[in-house]
């Protein structure tokens, strides 16, 4: 089954060009949303992925409608393929149901990996150069005023034991790692039972 996905970045933009192209391509179902590609929360795209079945083809108007970065694109296409589906981009001549399309996509994946390696190498080289000049790289030691305030609240919530670690993180909009860093900074003993 061909399943279309159409997206525009703002409420003011019109989906009709994409919808017409997807219908012409034979899509039996089309998921559409008006949300910026930079946003991780794309409920319609998630619904599409959740309902994807073996042999389904996800059809998009252009690659940038699906993802904003090469890394995100590679991850999404891998997820589609893991579910037994394929991707067809109408304007980018990419169709992972064909050998040529699969090859093109593998080149994209290799480029994404290459880009990550270059960034990693540049970061290492920059840190080494800074150390050679006597400066240490990375984040400054200690916490900002705002982080100190959040750490105090995190400590109180953690010691009250009324909320789970996950709930504390959600309340404070921080990750588990950040919570544990804050608690260690405050000198809190982390108990295995309250993780």
What's the confidence (pLDDT) of residue 35?
A: 81
DSSP H helical segments within the chain, as ranges? 16-24, 43-51, 70-82, 99-132, 145-160, 165-172, 176-185
**Which tens digit of pLDDT belongs to each residue from 147-162?**
888 898 899 899 888 8
* Residue 60: C-alpha distances to residues 3, 66, 80, 148 (Å): 9, 7, 13, 46
Residues 91-125 as b or e (16 or more Cβ within 10 Å = b): eeebbbeeeebeebbeeebeebeeeeeeeeeeeee
Residues taking part in catalysis: 9
5, 31 Cβ separation under 8 angstroms: yes
- For residue 140, pLDDT over 60 is answered with no
Residue 93 confidence class, pLDDT cut points 50, 70, 90: confident
Q: What is the mean pLDDT of the segment spanning 135-157?
A: 79
Q: What is the mean pLDDT of the segment spanning 91-111?
A: 81
**Which tens digit of pLDDT belongs to each residue from 9-53?**
877 788 899 999 999 999 999 999 988 766 678 899 999 999 999
Strand partners, 94: 89
């Amino acid at each position: 089954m061909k399943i279309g996905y159409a997206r525009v970045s703002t409420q003011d933009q019109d989906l009709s060009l994409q919808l017409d192209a997807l219908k012409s391509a034979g899509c039996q179902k089309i998921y559409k949303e008006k949300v910026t590609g930079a946003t991780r929360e794309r409920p319609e795209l998630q619904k599409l992925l959740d309902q994807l079945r073996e042999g389904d083809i996800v059809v998009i108007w252009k690659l940038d409608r699906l993802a904003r970065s090469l890394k995100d694109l590679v991850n999404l296409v891998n997820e589609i393929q893991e579910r037994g589906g394929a991707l067809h981009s109408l304007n980018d001549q990419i169709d992972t149901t064909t050998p040529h399309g699969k090859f093109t996509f593998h080149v994209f994946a290799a480029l994404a990996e290459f880009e990550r390696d270059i960034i990693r190498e540049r970061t290492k080289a920059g840190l080494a150069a800074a150390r050679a000049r006597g400066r240490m790289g990375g984040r400054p030691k200690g916490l900002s005023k705002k982080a100190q305030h959040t750490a105090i609240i995190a400590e109180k919530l953690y010691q009250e034991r009324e909320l789970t670690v996950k709930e504390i993180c959600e309340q404070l909009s921080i990750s588990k790692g950040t919570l544990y860093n804050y608690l260690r900074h405050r000198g809190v003993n982390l108990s295995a039972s309250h993780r």
